[in-house]
Structure 1
Amino acid sequence: MSKEKKPVNFFIKSLVTAILMLGLGYTIYTSLIIKKEAVTIDQSNLAPDFTLQDLKGNEVKLSDYRGKGVILNFWATYCPPCEKEMPYLNNVYQEYEDKGIEILAVNAQEPRIIVSPFVLEKKLSFSILLDRTGEAIDQYKVNNLPVTYLINEDGEITQTISGELTEMKVRSYVESIIPN
């Protein structure tokens, strides 16, 4: 009877080990490979242009902001790090708006009925854009939220930041894209 248990135990241990190895491999793949895909836009190229609607239904085109430094932030209301960084972005926007800085926060495919109350509750004063079809998300290869692109006055992406921003980080990043 003990001889029968050994092959079964060996099989179960081997199966568990294989499952754990697959899980570890998948975790490494998603954390290294997929995150790199989110930032594969050639940083020397112009930022891909898009036209999206703001919360009032106005069309907003990224290329209309040439001549300004733009913080382009992809976010969603269901994303805790996104929610945490919104007040930081708002504080920096209010301080740097007169210096030629714009913040365009592109919501990741949520309906206006969900986004509007969130924006009102947080008292956000920068532009909130609705990417209902995923057009901009696809153009920027966004896989994880939040993702932030720094765009200089010439419309070029100068830096890509994946993950949550602190207020100190936002302040240091915005200094690098203030127009001359």
Structure 2
Amino acid sequence: MKKKRFVIRTIILLVLAGAVVYTLYANQNKDKVDQVKIGSKAPDFILEDLEGNKHQLSDYEGQGVLLNFWGTFCKPCEKEMPFMDNQYKQFKDQGVQTIAVNVGESELSVKQFVKRHQLSFPVVIDKDDQAQDAYGVNPLPVTFLIDKDGTVVKMHTGELTEEMIKQFMEQIKP
């Protein structure tokens, strides 16, 4: 009887130890998302803008794309949006596009934000975190520069100044 109890306790202890080891391993590696590497092909996605139009990143090949991940709650994001809009107006006819990917907030709050800041570039909402996960985005804001061939040439985490945006757009101009 004692031997049987010992075996059962040992098995339970091994299962618990395995669960602890797995939990520690999973937590340690959860932030190591396959983040996009400079020089690699930009992950494709299809997201809808506020008017219901679909935007597929691969449709922009042949043009440079400033891809910005943001949220309405993010103060640095809010500060850089007017700069992005100014530069979008300067560069859109030169083959450089801007796509702002909201990280899954409500359509109402995003629409109010866009209206308040009078943004003219495409704003899409990543409702299911498809793009955010593909690009390994965290924290906000994060901006990716994608050249005319669809290759990621630069990534910037943090707030952008208008001068930085202008330099970035010059860098990816076809």
Q: After TM superposition, is the score higher than 0.5? A: yes
Q: Which runs of 5+ in 2 are unaligned?
A: 1-28
Contact 2:36 2:134 in 1 (8 A): no
**For residues 120-154 of structure 1, what are the alpha-carbon distances to aligned partners after superposition, in whole Å with 9 as ceiling and x for unaligned?**
11000000011011000000000100000000000
Q: Pairwise mapping of residues 40-79 of structure 1 onto structure 2 (< 5 A)?
A: 40-79=35-74
- Is 2:99 aligned against 1:136? no
Mapped partners of 1:50, 1:105: distance in 2: 13
Q: Is the 8 A contact 1:38 1:144 kept in 2?
A: no
Partner of 1:92, secondary structure, is helix
Q: Is the 8 A contact 1:52 1:130 kept in 2?
A: yes
Q: Is 2:93 aligned against 1:98?
A: yes
The letter of the residue matching 1:86 is M
Are 1:85 and 2:44 counterparts? no
Query: Matches of 1:159 and 1:39 in 2, distance apart?
Result: 16
Q: Measure how far apart 1:166 and its partner are.
A: 0.3
| Structure 1 unaligned blocks of 5 or more | 1-33
Contact 1:38 1:143 in 2 (8 A): no
Q: Distance in 1 between matches of 2:142 and 2:73?
A: 14
CA positional deviation for 1:40 = 3.5
Could you tell me which residue of structure 1 aligns to residue 110 of structure 2? Answer: 115
Where do 4+ consecutive residues of structure 1 move more than 2 Å?
Answer: 36-40
How far apart in 2 are the matches of 1:176 and 1:43?
Answer: 14
SS at match of 1:176: helix
Instruction: Write the distance in 2 (CA, Å) between the matches of 1:74 and 1:57.
Output: 19
Give the paired residue count.
146
**Whole-Å separation in 2 of the counterparts to 1:139 and 1:38:** 8
SS in 1 for 2:47: strand
* Structure 1 counterpart of 2:159: 164
For 1:174, which of 148, 155, 169 is the aligned residue?
Answer: 169
Q: Secondary structure at the match of 2:172?
A: coil
Contact 2:99-2:124 at 8 Å conserved across structures: yes
Q: Which amino acid aligns with 1:113?
A: L
2:46–2:56 CA contact under 8 A, matched in 1: yes
TM-score normalised by the chain length of structure 2: 0.80
Identity of matched residues, %: 45
Q: 2: distance between equivalents of 1:54 and 1:142?
A: 19
TM, length-normalised to structure 1: 0.78
The separation in 2 between residues aligned to 1:162 and 1:139, in whole angstroms, is: 16
- 1:125 paired with 2:120, answer yes
Mapped partners of 2:45, 2:108: distance in 1: 22
